[in-house]
Amino acid sequence: MNLKPLHRQLTLAAIAALALGAGVAHADEVVCNGRIDAVSIDGDVKVPSNVACTLAGTRVDGNVKVESGASLATQNARIGGNVQAENHRQVNLAGGAVGGSVQLKQGGGANIASVSVKGDIQLFENRGAQTVRNNRVDGNLQCKSNSPAPTGGGNIVQGNKEDQCARL
């Protein structure tokens, strides 16, 4: 019995369900190459190198990892773990919540606005405009060796505002 057509049909059905915003996606890791709307993902999300991903109203129980040259945009997403990017092109987080930390290293630009972050926001050695405004951070707001220095304000930080982010 040839299982390849069946596997292809199941894969297409899973992709269609995600695209239509249906129910809960159960997976250890979901690869985002485009847009994922209001679904729940039981696991992590990976944004592969050199692609763009938008999470709109999406709930991710795990982490979101942005690989080299990739871009991530969130719109009122709820992420249970961390948002981690290294050598990213762009990261834009708007509204929603992050249950862990936001860690952006050695990448491009970023805009983090009106996000509730249970852990830290860390921006280290990025090259590109970065704005951090109107966030609630239960941990620290840490920025080092970014060029240009991050801008913004109106952040409520329970821990420390450090280095380039001391005035934000």
Which H, E and C letters describe 43-54, residue by residue? Answer: EEEEECCCCEEE
List the structure tokens of 45.
């999300």
Q: What is the pLDDT along the chain (168 residues), one digit of tens a residue?
A: 444 443 343 334 344 444 444 444 445 899 999 999 999 999 999 999 999 999 999 999 999 999 999 999 999 999 999 999 999 999 999 999 999 999 999 999 999 999 999 999 999 999 999 999 999 999 999 999 999 999 999 999 999 999 999 999
- Indicate the pTM of the whole model: 0.84
CA–CA gap between residue 43 and residue 25 (Å, rounded) = 9
**Contact (Cβ atoms closer than 8 angstroms) between residue 93 and residue 76:** no
**Contact (Cβ atoms closer than 8 angstroms) between residue 130 and residue 150:** yes
2, amino acid identity: N
CA–CA gap between residue 48 and residue 32 (Å, rounded) = 7
CA–CA gap between residue 63 and residue 84 (Å, rounded) = 8
Is beta strand 52-56 parallel, antiparallel or unpaired with respect to 64-66? Answer: unpaired
CA–CA gap between residue 128 and residue 68 (Å, rounded) = 15
CA–CA gap between residue 108 and residue 104 (Å, rounded) = 9
CA–CA gap between residue 22 and residue 65 (Å, rounded) = 23
Longest dimension (CA), the chain: 65
